[in-house]
Amino acid sequence: MTTGLIPGGQSPERPTGAQMPHQRREPAGHGALHVDNRTRSSVITARAAASFDPVGRSVASARSFVRDTLQGWGFADIVDDAVVLTSELVTNAVVHAGTSADVLCLRSDDGVRVEVADRYPEREIPLQGSPVNMGSPDREGGRGLQLCAALAGHWGVEYTPTHKQVWFQLDLPERPVGTRAAGPSLPSDLLPLADGRVRVAVVQIDRTGAIASWNEDAEDLFGYAAEQVTGKPLTDLAAWPHTPGTSTGIAEALQLSRWEGSYGIRGANGRVTPVYASHLRVRDTGGEPSTVCLLVRDHERAVLQTPLRIPASDTGNDAQSTDPFEVFIGSPAPDDLDGLLQRTVERARDMLDGDSAFLLLATDDETELEVRASTGLPSARQRFARVPVEAGPGRYGSARMPAVHEDLTMVPGAVPLLRGTGMRSVVTVPLKVEGRLTGSLGVAAEAPARYSNEEALRLQFAADRIALAVESARLGELERLRRGSLSFLVEASDLLAGTLDRDQTLALMAQMTVPTLATWCAVYTIADQASEPYLSYVLHEDEELIDGIKSLLSKISPPDPVPTPGARVWSAPAQAAHQAALRTSMRSLGLGEPPHRVSSGIGIGPTLATASAVGGETVVLPLVARNRVIGMLTLGKPTDEHFRQEILELAEDLSRRAALALDNARLYSERTAISQSLQRSLLPPELPEIDGVEVEVIYRAAGEGNEVGGDFYDLFPISDGAYGFAIGDVCGTGPNAAAVTGLARHALRLLAREGLSGPAVLERLNSAILDEGARSRFLTLLYGELRPQEDGSAELKVVCAGHPLPLRLRQDGTVEPAAEPQPLLGVMDDLELYEQTVTLDPGDVLLCVTDGVTERREGSRMLGDDGLTDVLTTCTGLTAGAVAARIMRAVERFASDAPSDDMAILAMRVPGLHKD
């Protein structure tokens, strides 16, 4: 084996003879192998392998395989990176190299190694230590190795005479496990605030995830009686923070031995109560596992939250060296940004004895501040809102330096966040890292003149101590969001590209946004420039609310189709919801209707649950494809919490992809409709009823979406009880053959009704086909004239121009050809054709087929004329319809593959003298 090492990567040696099982996982200790990555020795504790065929859908299957494997191993923190890298490498194998791909996942104590091998080793082998040119990042291709270098801790390429293998290793984040801490003794004014009575909901979950017990505090907090929720899955009530980058779900959290964190519980009133929870996995004396969950309101998290232990080497013996601010903040996990910010504002409020506190983080360009944490304020209404940094009316003018406002009523708009909250005095200080503005911390009080420069200095000192930790956690969160967004867009693009059905595209758009990006969404479509937006699809994470939201949105005017990119706020749904909720409440109290209505068309309509579901912020993103607005994607939240800018940017990226997919589906549907309309015009109208003759036709065009191909049939009245019939086969299949089909069928009708004989009709048709020049195609045709006779028989005059001979089935079961072969049409100018007369006695059947029937193949076998004759001999006494059906059934059963040629069957039968 030759190994190509990339600078900065390490290449572990695979064990000799290691096998790659197909979709098999081995538990720890079973067949464990050692892998040497030249940096540290690791023990492989589990393996999972799968092989994927060289087809496009294999990329999505490989992503699902890696995601399921790593989540099953409990490595949710690195799932997104692994999925993105696997997607790139498997795409290179199955799409670009055109070979199958083998994916092997190896679990060790310190990380995961994923190997992707293909069977296209003809590549230049990079030498160890030599520079490797991976191409420009602006190129469309060649980014797989660049992603490995950017995301993986170690990676490399290995070559054998038959395989090329790219591998990468993702290390697990270093986190202390099982640590505990005891907080210092603090004065009363430094303790965190809580309600008069702290309620701790105790919920026990059985091994299936269903609620087994529910205490009185849980009833008080969430409004459900124990008998209402016992036996239901906790996932029915839990509102998990579905944000890209958050890999652990509620089901995974319940399986962990211990877990702490924030999520929401949907109460009986339909609202989500933010809670802080501590999960502990236990087992009873019989060994049956269950999970005990302790839950408090999120702002009372200090009751349950366990700060991590401060290392002994950092404590020292001098009490003066310990900063009380740092002691209270503790050492939060490096990726727990929300926990760090919330503890910061709570500590700042308590430190200055304020009524509220808030913390805003700056954007990368320092032009805006985003509300990220607050206490004592309506945080749900303000969270993720953005305000400009520059000074000016109504703007945040004190962000870059400490500022004290003794009375906000004298300077309205100085701190927009506090408008309408009753706060009058406020002190704000900047958070800076290396001179760059990273945020702003403020404390406010309801009384005026509460703060002076001394409090500002104290708060600034605290802000300086925490600024670096906040910025580090913010950058870590941003990196996780971006990696999760990349994984999200990879899968979204693959799903959207996998369908050309308009309704399925609309459903995918909604299902990808809910609940990942929003609580509910609605998709409006615009048929053309003169059409109004139409509400095409509505989805909510709670299916019971979908009909109510659809009803509410249908009663208000749709958003304007503005082509300007980016999300814009749409206030109409929230206003309509609030008005509907007010009307419902006043009606229930017997107070009549409210004095003012937002929309007279709302009526009784929405319930309180529906109004609550759409009562938050709603944004609209245009769906623009090929320089035209084809619809709008509407995203909404149930509360007044603002959408994060990163989420809106991700939604905008998704909307561009979805718009193109939706427009492609529209174009495909239009072209399919046009094609089907044109094809139907080539088919004959309903077959006429002929006294004394049964007629049945079965027609199958080859190819998906084709209704007409190169085979055709017709039966039409000529005059005086005579009928013309034809069955033919144009060379080839598809639209080009169908064009000649239309020419032949219409020409036959016109010429036959001119009173010409059968040979004359075909000779003139032959000239018309040759006149087509380069577009002409040769044609086999069986044409005849049918005249029922008074004695119950039928007389046929037949011309068979290169077509499979018609077969006559007599009442005694014998089968014989009913015509002789003659030259086909569209080849020679001068044809000398003649017609033959055939008499069908009562009970006789005439069977006419195209070569798609006789040339039906299964490997080297072919049905042929003899096989068709054998089937026809079994049809004695059957009606024309039964004969045609039995022939088609025999043809379909002859081979397992779908037919590759058009097929037509025309059966005519003269009934017997007595009823069959």
Residue range 724-766, pLDDT digits in tens: 999 988 876 666 677 777 788 888 888 988 888 889 999 998 8
pLDDT, residue 202, reads 94
Q: How many C-beta atoms lie closer than 10 Å to residue 147's C-beta?
A: 19
Q: How confident is the model at residue 474 (pLDDT cuts 50, 70, 90)?
A: confident
- Half-sphere CA count of 268, side-chain side, radius 13 A: 11
pLDDT, residue 391, reads 44
When pLDDT is averaged across residues 690-708 and rounded to a whole number, the result is: 78
Instruction: Evaluate if residue 7 carries a pLDDT over 50.
Output: no
Percentage of residues of the chain with pLDDT beyond 70: 78
33 with 18: CB under 8 angstroms?
yes
CA distances from 742 to 76, 115, 350, 714, 737 (A): 61, 57, 87, 11, 9
Residue type, 524: Y
622 with 564: CB under 8 angstroms?
yes
Is the dihedral angle over the CA atoms 592, 598, 601, 605 positive or is it negative?
A: negative
What would the pLDDT profile of 650-672 be if each residue is shown by its tens digit?
888 888 888 888 888 888 888 87
End-to-end Cα separation, the chain, in angstroms: 78
Percentage of residues of the chain with pLDDT beyond 90: 17
When pLDDT is averaged across residues 19-34 and rounded to a whole number, the result is: 38
pLDDT, residue 693, reads 92
Instruction: Evaluate if residue 317 carries a pLDDT over 60.
Output: no
Exposure string for 175-212, b = 16+ CB within 10 A, e = fewer: eeeeeeeeeeeeeeebebeeeeeebbbebebbeebbbe
Q: Which residues contact 32 (CB under 8 A, 6 or more apart)?
A: 43, 44, 45
Residue type, 571: S
Instruction: Evaluate if residue 52 carries a pLDDT over 70.
Output: yes
pLDDT, residue 142, reads 52
When pLDDT is averaged across residues 566-570 and rounded to a whole number, the result is: 84
810 with 770: CB under 8 angstroms?
no
Sort residue 520 into left (φ over 0), alpha (ψ -120 to 50) or beta.
Answer: beta
pLDDT, residue 679, reads 67
Q: How many C-beta atoms lie closer than 10 Å to residue 256's C-beta?
A: 13
Helix, strand, coil fractions of the chain, as percent rounded to 5: 35, 25, 40
164 with 123: CB under 8 angstroms?
yes
Least confident of 73-82, 158-167, 384-393: 384-393
**SS3 label, residue 408:** coil
Q: Report how far residue 241's alpha carbon sits from residue 481's, in angstroms, rounded to the nearest whole number.
A: 13
Q: Which residue has the tokens 């030759």?
A: 2
Most confident of 26-40, 178-192, 545-559, 608-622: 545-559
Total-model pTM: 0.53
Extract the tokens encoding 467: 């600024």
Extract the tokens encoding 816: 């014989």
Q: Report how far residue 15's alpha carbon sits from residue 35's, in angstroms, rounded to the nearest whole number.
A: 7
| Better-predicted residue by pLDDT, 146 or 887 | 887
For residue 159, which phi and psi values (nearest 5 degrees)?
-125, 140
What one-character DSSP code corresponds to residue 308?
P
Q: Which residues contact 463 (CB under 8 A, 6 or more apart)?
A: 429, 430, 431, 441
What would the pLDDT profile of 495-530 be if each residue is shown by its tens digit?
888 888 888 888 888 888 888 888 889 999 988 877
| Better-predicted residue by pLDDT, 766 or 287 | 766
Within 225-311, residue ranges assigned H as helices are: 226-229, 250-255
Most confident of 632-646, 709-723, 858-872: 858-872
Q: How confident is the model at residue 902 (pLDDT cuts 50, 70, 90)?
A: confident
Sort residue 521 into left (φ over 0), alpha (ψ -120 to 50) or beta.
Answer: beta
Is the dihedral angle over the CA atoms 435, 437, 439, 442 positive or is it negative?
A: positive
pLDDT, residue 329, reads 55
When pLDDT is averaged across residues 338-346 and rounded to a whole number, the result is: 82
CA distances from 352 to 349, 357, 422, 428 (A): 6, 10, 18, 12
Instruction: Evaluate if residue 336 carries a pLDDT over 80.
Output: no
Q: Report how far residue 251's alpha carbon sits from residue 234's, in angstroms, rounded to the nearest whole number.
A: 9
728 with 715: CB under 8 angstroms?
no
Instruction: Evaluate if residue 152 carries a pLDDT over 90.
Output: no
| Average confidence score pLDDT of the chain | 78
Q: Report how far residue 702's alpha carbon sits from residue 482's, in angstroms, rounded to the nearest whole number.
A: 47
pLDDT, residue 397, reads 46
Q: Report how far residue 742's alpha carbon sits from residue 765's, in angstroms, rounded to the nearest whole number.
A: 12
When pLDDT is averaged across residues 613-641 and rounded to a whole number, the result is: 84
| Better-predicted residue by pLDDT, 69 or 385 | 69
Instruction: Evaluate if residue 37 carries a pLDDT over 60.
Output: no
101 with 117: CB under 8 angstroms?
yes
Instruction: Evaluate if residue 110 carries a pLDDT over 50.
Output: yes
Q: Report how far residue 117's alpha carbon sits from residue 158's, in angstroms, rounded to the nearest whole number.
A: 9
Looking at the DSSP bridge assignments, the partners of residue 107 are 46, 112
Q: Report how far residue 637's alpha carbon sits from residue 613's, in angstroms, rounded to the nearest whole number.
A: 7
- The CA R_g of the chain, rounded to the nearest whole Å, is 38
Instruction: Evaluate if residue 97 carries a pLDDT over 60.
Output: yes
What one-character DSSP code corresponds to residue 13?
B
The CA-based angle 547-552-553, given to 5 degrees, is 100
Instruction: Evaluate if residue 776 carries a pLDDT over 60.
Output: yes
Instruction: Evaluate if residue 132 carries a pLDDT over 70.
Output: no
143 with 88: CB under 8 angstroms?
yes
Instruction: Evaluate if residue 318 carries a pLDDT over 50.
Output: no
Sort residue 199 into left (φ over 0), alpha (ψ -120 to 50) or beta.
Answer: beta
What would the pLDDT profile of 778-806 be if each residue is shown by its tens digit?
889 999 999 998 888 999 999 999 999 99
pLDDT, residue 837, reads 92
Q: Which residue has the tokens 């020049």?
A: 773
Q: How many C-beta atoms lie closer than 10 Å to residue 814's C-beta?
A: 11
